[in-house]
Chain A
Amino acid sequence: MVVPFVWMVLTSLKTLGDSTQVPPVIIPRKWNWSNYAEVIAALPFLKFYWNTIVTTAAKTAGQLLLCSMAAYAFARFRFPGRHFLFIVALSVLMVPGQVFLIPQYMIMKHLGWLNSLLALIVPGLFSAFGTFLLRQFFMTLPKELEEAAKMDGCNPFGVFWKIMLPQARSGLIALGIFVILWSWNDLMWPMIVINSPDKMPLSVGLASLQGEHTTNYPILMAGSLLAIWPLIVIYILFQRHFIEGIAFTGSK
């Protein structure tokens, strides 16, 4: 299981010559850090980090807020059209992503958002999945606390904000983890809407690295490691939440 990762690290520290030896040099003869320097020189990796982090943070925060609001309304309020709107949201989930892509691209074009981070962020703020997941979660929470707060004259939004959100912490974390994972690693949509290097997220940056250095593996491996380490570190630090998040969606 770990061999690919170990090989990635080892290769990233080899010279091109060492990497194409037969039989292969397993441990680099000379620890060659210049591949990292070369990657950073070839592509604006710092920009890639920035773009990825901004996009991921905005999408995560946005989805958590918007989805939890909608989810709460669907879970607790009665209003005309509730059933219909909920079915509409659900049916969005039945459609494979490819069906949205071309029109989404055209919308971005008309809004003049192509090649900007807005194109990466805005469509990702709205999520039928997140709404549904959190609605399910809210439904399992007891109503007593809310009732009490209502008695105290708190308005519905206040109840949601002060009482419900704190209780829904684990559901929010689960959704947040998914959004982070998808956003960080998504390839196709950014590839479609972004075309200048200073707006690229890491995933597209990596694809263009491959486009340039097709088979220069030490460089490619160095680039890959630069792109994946932040998420791996986050994962190791918050492992428990990740595991619970996955298990949570599996058991609901």
Chain B
Amino acid sequence: MEQIVSKFKETHPNIDVKVELTPNKQYWSKMETAAAGDQLPDVFWMNGPRIVKFAANGQLLPISDQIKADKVDMSNYPEALVKLYTVNGKNYGIPKDYDTIGLWYNKKMFDEAGVKYPDESWDWNALLDAAKKLTNPAKGVWGIAAALDSQGVYYNMIPQNGGYVISDDKKTSGYDKPEAIEALKFWTDLITVYKVSPTQAQMTDTEPMQLFTSGKVAMYFDGSWDAIEYSKNEYTKDKVNVAVWPQGKKRAAVIHGLANVIAAKTKHPKEAWEFVKFLGSKEAADIQAKTGTVIPAYKGTESAWVNSMPNFNLKAFIDMVAYSVPYPVSKDTSKWTTVETEQFTKAWSGQIKIEDAAKEVAKQMNGFLAQEQ
């Protein structure tokens, strides 16, 4: 980020940019608080679940006119992402990056258990088989971490099983459909029936990622954004690799990405736009790609990212874009994701049946969606 800013300052000496980093996990709640308190920074990152809420409530500056005036070619970015950041026909952001989810695995543990590494050919059953073979209660190691993770897990599995989280017209929830329930059940069974994953309680005590990076868990689904973390970590840098999502009834993978947006109340709309435009440029994307943090959204710059960490098969993340599905959002996404997490926490820890949890989520979610209309 600092490199990009200094590059920007080279060409725009009269614009001063102050970068403020917020710890990742608090970023979104901070932005919500900031928006509520009229404290938004001039330019900031926006994500899918919040874009409609922010845009529809007048927090963001529409940039369609600027895009037209400065002839910014939006076809340089993945269509799904441009669409995600278009609300009521107006553009609100320029895509910055995108991410997909891959199956990270520990080669050392696979070798020791004599299991073949995951590849394109894997399906859910292969995943389950491998997880069983890799689990060794005596040594305290598990085949897989069946994390309670929407984007990381079930937003992928539900479409893989032919279901959906939210219908295309954003009016109905797909959680009470048999396809969705079956996918969720496959996943929670890993904990409760096959016992090839740590329990939800254990994964709360010690994060799944940490279990994975300390060699306690052989497989873990994680996003392209953590590749850099694995390449820096002493233990994982030469022991792990990544493969595409195993297929269910069909192939599918959820895609999401951030966009740079401008606060509606900014005091410097012109300068902010110049900066956003620069952030969306190929130049900025190239810098981003080389640092390896995320996959840049600008078409053609991905390869620099893939090559940034030759230890890992990062191409898997790019391959999945071909059959990717959009990240499920609605106007007030957080309303139903709250219920989702609440109910699924209970199901993951075996306090209620996953079928009941899914149906309850669908019921409440349909209620929220009806209010949004």
Residues of A near any B CB (own CB < 8 A): 16-17, 20, 22, 43, 108-109, 112, 114-115, 192, 195-198, 208-209, 211-212, 214-216
| Alpha-carbon gap, A115 to B22, bound state (A) | 13
Please name all residues of chain A whose beta carbon is closer than 8 Å to the beta carbon of B21 when the two chains form the complex: 197
- Encoded as 1 (CB less than 8 Å from any A CB) or 0, chain B from 2 to 42 comes to 00000000000000000011111110001001101111000
Please name all residues of chain B whose beta carbon is closer than 8 Å to the beta carbon of A17 when the two chains form the complex: 214, 234-235
Please name all residues of chain B whose beta carbon is closer than 8 Å to the beta carbon of A16 when the two chains form the complex: 214
Task: Pick the contact of B206: A108, A198, A212, A215 (CB < 8 A).
Answer: A215
- Are A211 and B33 CB-contacts (below 8 A) given A115-B39, A195-B39, A216-B210? no
B140 CB–A CB distance under 8 Å: yes
B319 CB–A CB distance under 8 Å: no
| Alpha-carbon gap, A41 to B19, bound state (A) | 16
Q: Is the CB of B23 within 8 A of A114?
A: no
Task: Pick the contact of B24: A115, A212, A216 (CB < 8 A).
Answer: A212
- Are A215 and B39 CB-contacts (below 8 A) given A195-B34, A196-B20? no
Q: Is the CB of A109 within 8 A of B140?
A: no
Q: Is the CB of B37 within 8 A of A198?
A: no
Q: Give 15 A-B pairs besides A108-B37, A192-B33 with Cβ atoms closer than 8 angstroms.
A: A17-B234, A20-B210, A114-B37, A115-B37, A195-B33, A196-B30, A197-B20, A198-B20, A211-B23, A211-B25, A211-B26, A212-B23, A212-B25, A215-B205, A215-B207
Please name all residues of chain A whose beta carbon is closer than 8 Å to the beta carbon of B214 when the two chains form the complex: 16-17, 20
- Are A208 and B26 CB-contacts (below 8 A) given A17-B235, A197-B20? yes
Q: Is the CB of B234 within 8 A of A208?
A: no
Q: Shortest Cβ distance from B41 into chain A, in angstroms?
A: 9
Please name all residues of chain B whose beta carbon is closer than 8 Å to the beta carbon of A115 when the two chains form the complex: 34, 37, 39
Specify the main secondary structure of chain B where it touches its partner: loop
Q: Within B314-362, which residues are at the interface with A (CB < 8 Å)?
A: none
Q: Shortest Cβ distance from B207 into chain A, in angstroms?
A: 5
Chain A: which residue is nearest B210 at the CB level?
A: A215
Q: Shortest Cβ distance from A123 into chain B, in angstroms?
A: 15
Q: Shortest Cβ distance from B24 into chain A, in angstroms?
A: 7
Please name all residues of chain A whose beta carbon is closer than 8 Å to the beta carbon of B140 when the two chains form the complex: 22
Please name all residues of chain B whose beta carbon is closer than 8 Å to the beta carbon of A197 when the two chains form the complex: 20-23
Chain A: which residue is nearest B235 at the CB level?
A: A17
Question: Can you identify 18 A-B contacts, CB atoms within 8 angstroms?
Answer: A17-B214, A17-B235, A108-B37, A109-B37, A112-B38, A114-B39, A195-B22, A195-B34, A195-B39, A196-B30, A197-B22, A208-B26, A212-B25, A214-B25, A214-B207, A214-B210, A215-B206, A215-B210
Chain B: which residue is nearest A212 at the CB level?
A: B23
Q: Shortest Cβ distance from B217 into chain A, in angstroms?
A: 13
Chain B: which residue is nearest A207 at the CB level?
A: B26
Q: Which of A43, A108, A209, A214 has the most C-beta atoms of chain B within 10 angstroms of its own C-beta?
A: A214
Q: Shortest Cβ distance from A204 into chain B, in angstroms?
A: 10
Q: Which of B39, B206, B214 has the most C-beta atoms of chain A within 10 angstroms of its own C-beta?
A: B39
Q: Shortest Cβ distance from A189 into chain B, in angstroms?
A: 13
Please name all residues of chain B whose beta carbon is closer than 8 Å to the beta carbon of A209 when the two chains form the complex: 23
Chain B: which residue is nearest A116 at the CB level?
A: B39
Please name all residues of chain A whose beta carbon is closer than 8 Å to the beta carbon of B205 when the two chains form the complex: 215
Q: Shortest Cβ distance from A9 into chain B, in angstroms?
A: 22
| Alpha-carbon gap, A216 to B211, bound state (A) | 11
Chain B: which residue is nearest A196 at the CB level?
A: B20
Q: Shortest Cβ distance from A15 into chain B, in angstroms?
A: 9
Q: Which of A108, A192, A215 has the most C-beta atoms of chain B within 10 angstroms of its own C-beta?
A: A215
Please name all residues of chain A whose beta carbon is closer than 8 Å to the beta carbon of B39 when the two chains form the complex: 114-115, 195
The 8 closest A-B pairs by CB, nearest first: A114-B37, A212-B23, A195-B30, A211-B25, A208-B23, A109-B37, A214-B207, A215-B207
Please name all residues of chain B whose beta carbon is closer than 8 Å to the beta carbon of A108 when the two chains form the complex: 37
